[in-house]
Amino acid sequence: MAATTLDRNTKKRGPIRQRVLPLAAATTIPVGVIVAVATPSVGAVNGSDTATHVVMGLSCQRAAAADGDTKIVVELGIFNLGNDGTITAADIGQPCTVLDNQTVSKAATTTNDIIAGYITEVDADGVWVDMTQAKIAAA
Protein backbone atom coordinates (compact mmCIF):
# COMPACT_ATOMS: atom_id res chain seq x y z
CA MET A 1 0.00 0.00 0.00
CA ALA A 2 0.95 3.63 -0.20
CA ALA A 3 -0.06 6.62 1.90
CA THR A 4 -3.64 7.67 1.24
CA THR A 5 -5.19 11.11 0.89
CA LEU A 6 -8.69 9.59 0.85
CA ASP A 7 -10.85 8.74 3.85
CA ARG A 8 -10.38 5.12 4.93
CA ASN A 9 -13.06 2.90 6.51
CA THR A 10 -10.73 1.38 9.09
CA LYS A 11 -12.22 -1.47 11.12
CA LYS A 12 -11.87 -1.06 14.88
CA ARG A 13 -12.39 -2.89 18.12
CA GLY A 14 -13.09 -1.31 21.48
CA PRO A 15 -12.87 0.05 23.93
CA ILE A 16 -12.05 3.27 22.11
CA ARG A 17 -10.67 6.37 23.81
CA GLN A 18 -10.30 9.76 22.15
CA ARG A 19 -7.90 12.64 22.42
CA VAL A 20 -7.78 16.04 20.74
CA LEU A 21 -4.55 17.25 19.15
CA PRO A 22 -3.56 20.49 17.47
CA LEU A 23 -3.29 20.14 13.69
CA ALA A 24 0.00 21.05 12.01
CA ALA A 25 -0.06 23.95 9.55
CA ALA A 26 -0.68 23.10 5.88
CA THR A 27 -1.81 19.55 6.79
CA THR A 28 -4.76 17.44 5.69
CA ILE A 29 -5.44 14.20 7.54
CA PRO A 30 -8.11 11.84 6.17
CA VAL A 31 -10.43 9.72 8.34
CA GLY A 32 -9.10 6.33 9.47
CA VAL A 33 -5.35 6.83 9.15
CA ILE A 34 -2.38 6.77 11.50
CA VAL A 35 -1.75 10.14 13.13
CA ALA A 36 1.59 11.20 14.57
CA VAL A 37 3.15 14.29 16.02
CA ALA A 38 6.59 15.40 14.98
CA THR A 39 8.99 16.19 17.78
CA PRO A 40 9.59 18.88 18.69
CA SER A 41 5.83 19.17 18.39
CA VAL A 42 4.49 21.03 15.40
CA GLY A 43 1.05 19.45 15.63
CA ALA A 44 -0.64 16.36 14.21
CA VAL A 45 0.46 15.00 10.84
CA ASN A 46 -0.14 11.87 8.79
CA GLY A 47 1.83 8.94 10.15
CA SER A 48 4.93 8.03 8.16
CA ASP A 49 8.34 6.45 8.57
CA THR A 50 9.87 9.75 9.69
CA ALA A 51 12.53 9.85 12.41
CA THR A 52 10.88 12.58 14.49
CA HIS A 53 7.38 11.04 14.55
CA VAL A 54 5.57 9.67 17.60
CA VAL A 55 2.31 7.80 16.90
CA MET A 56 -0.71 9.23 18.71
CA GLY A 57 -3.55 7.07 17.36
CA LEU A 58 -5.96 6.89 14.43
CA SER A 59 -7.94 9.79 12.97
CA CYS A 60 -11.70 9.60 13.47
CA GLN A 61 -12.43 12.75 11.48
CA ARG A 62 -11.04 14.49 8.43
CA ALA A 63 -9.10 17.64 9.30
CA ALA A 64 -7.55 20.17 6.95
CA ALA A 65 -5.67 23.30 7.91
CA ALA A 66 -6.76 24.83 4.58
CA ASP A 67 -10.39 24.49 5.75
CA GLY A 68 -9.61 26.38 8.95
CA ASP A 69 -9.34 23.27 11.14
CA THR A 70 -6.94 23.72 14.03
CA LYS A 71 -7.56 20.45 15.88
CA ILE A 72 -8.17 16.78 15.12
CA VAL A 73 -9.83 14.05 17.18
CA VAL A 74 -7.72 10.90 17.37
CA GLU A 75 -8.82 7.49 18.66
CA LEU A 76 -6.90 4.94 20.69
CA GLY A 77 -8.00 1.33 20.27
CA ILE A 78 -7.35 -1.75 18.16
CA PHE A 79 -7.45 -1.10 14.40
CA ASN A 80 -7.12 -3.11 11.18
CA LEU A 81 -4.34 -1.56 9.12
CA GLY A 82 -2.69 -2.54 5.85
CA ASN A 83 0.04 -5.18 5.89
CA ASP A 84 3.09 -4.54 3.71
CA GLY A 85 3.47 -8.32 3.45
CA THR A 86 6.17 -8.74 6.08
CA ILE A 87 3.80 -9.48 9.01
CA THR A 88 2.52 -13.01 9.65
CA ALA A 89 0.64 -14.76 12.45
CA ALA A 90 4.04 -15.65 13.96
CA ASP A 91 4.44 -11.92 14.77
CA ILE A 92 1.40 -11.68 17.08
CA GLY A 93 2.38 -9.91 20.29
CA GLN A 94 5.29 -8.12 18.64
CA PRO A 95 5.48 -4.42 17.80
CA CYS A 96 4.89 -3.24 14.26
CA THR A 97 6.19 -0.08 12.65
CA VAL A 98 4.68 2.66 10.49
CA LEU A 99 5.32 2.40 6.77
CA ASP A 100 2.82 5.10 5.78
CA ASN A 101 -0.47 6.50 7.12
CA GLN A 102 -2.40 3.26 6.48
CA THR A 103 0.23 0.51 6.36
CA VAL A 104 2.36 -1.23 8.98
CA SER A 105 5.46 -3.35 8.68
CA LYS A 106 7.41 -5.81 10.77
CA ALA A 107 9.63 -4.04 13.32
CA ALA A 108 13.20 -3.51 12.10
CA THR A 109 12.17 -3.50 8.41
CA THR A 110 11.45 0.21 8.10
CA THR A 111 14.11 2.91 8.10
CA ASN A 112 13.20 4.68 11.35
CA ASP A 113 11.23 1.94 13.18
CA ILE A 114 8.39 4.20 14.40
CA ILE A 115 6.24 1.92 16.55
CA ALA A 116 2.58 1.89 15.46
CA GLY A 117 1.48 -0.53 18.18
CA TYR A 118 1.40 -4.25 18.90
CA ILE A 119 0.12 -6.98 16.57
CA THR A 120 -2.94 -8.78 17.95
CA GLU A 121 -4.12 -10.64 14.83
CA VAL A 122 -3.30 -11.08 11.15
CA ASP A 123 -6.15 -11.79 8.73
CA ALA A 124 -7.06 -11.43 5.06
CA ASP A 125 -7.92 -7.74 5.59
CA GLY A 126 -4.59 -6.79 7.17
CA VAL A 127 -3.06 -6.49 10.62
CA TRP A 128 -4.98 -5.79 13.83
CA VAL A 129 -2.83 -3.31 15.74
CA ASP A 130 -3.29 -2.46 19.43
CA MET A 131 -2.84 1.31 19.61
CA THR A 132 -4.26 1.74 23.11
CA GLN A 133 -1.09 3.22 24.58
CA ALA A 134 -1.38 6.91 25.52
CA LYS A 135 1.79 7.68 23.57
CA ILE A 136 3.91 5.24 21.62
CA ALA A 137 7.50 6.38 21.26
CA ALA A 138 9.98 5.37 18.58
CA ALA A 139 11.77 2.05 19.03
Evaluate whether residue 125 is within a structural domain. Answer: yes
Q: With residue 106 as reference, give the H or E element that holds it.
A: strand 103-106
Residue 75, domain member (yes or no): yes
pLDDT value of position 107: 80
Residue 40 pLDDT: 67
> Is residue 136 in a domain?
no
**Number of CB atoms found within 10 A of residue 124's CB:** 5
Residue 7, in any domain of the structure: no
Residue at 137 is within a domain: no
For 99-132, what is each residue's pLDDT tens digit?
A: 999 999 998 888 889 999 999 999 999 999 999 9
Statement: the pTM of the whole predicted model exceeds 0.85? yes
Q: Is the pLDDT of residue 76 over 50?
A: yes
Does the residue 115 lie in any domain? yes
Dump pLDDT digits (tens) for 25-56: 999 999 999 999 987 678 999 999 999 899 99
For the four alpha carbons of 113, 77, 22 and 61, in that order, the dihedral sign comes to positive
Rounded to whole angstroms, the Cα distance separating 106 from 95 reads 7
**What is the number of domains present in the chain?**
1
In a domain, 135, yes or no: no
CATH number at residue 126: 2.40.300
Give the range of the structural domain holding residue 108, as residue numbers without chain letter: 12-130
Res. 60: pLDDT tops 90: yes
With respect to residue 59, please indicate whether it lies within any of the assigned structural domains.
yes
How does residue 7 score in pLDDT terms, banded at 50, 70 and 90? very high
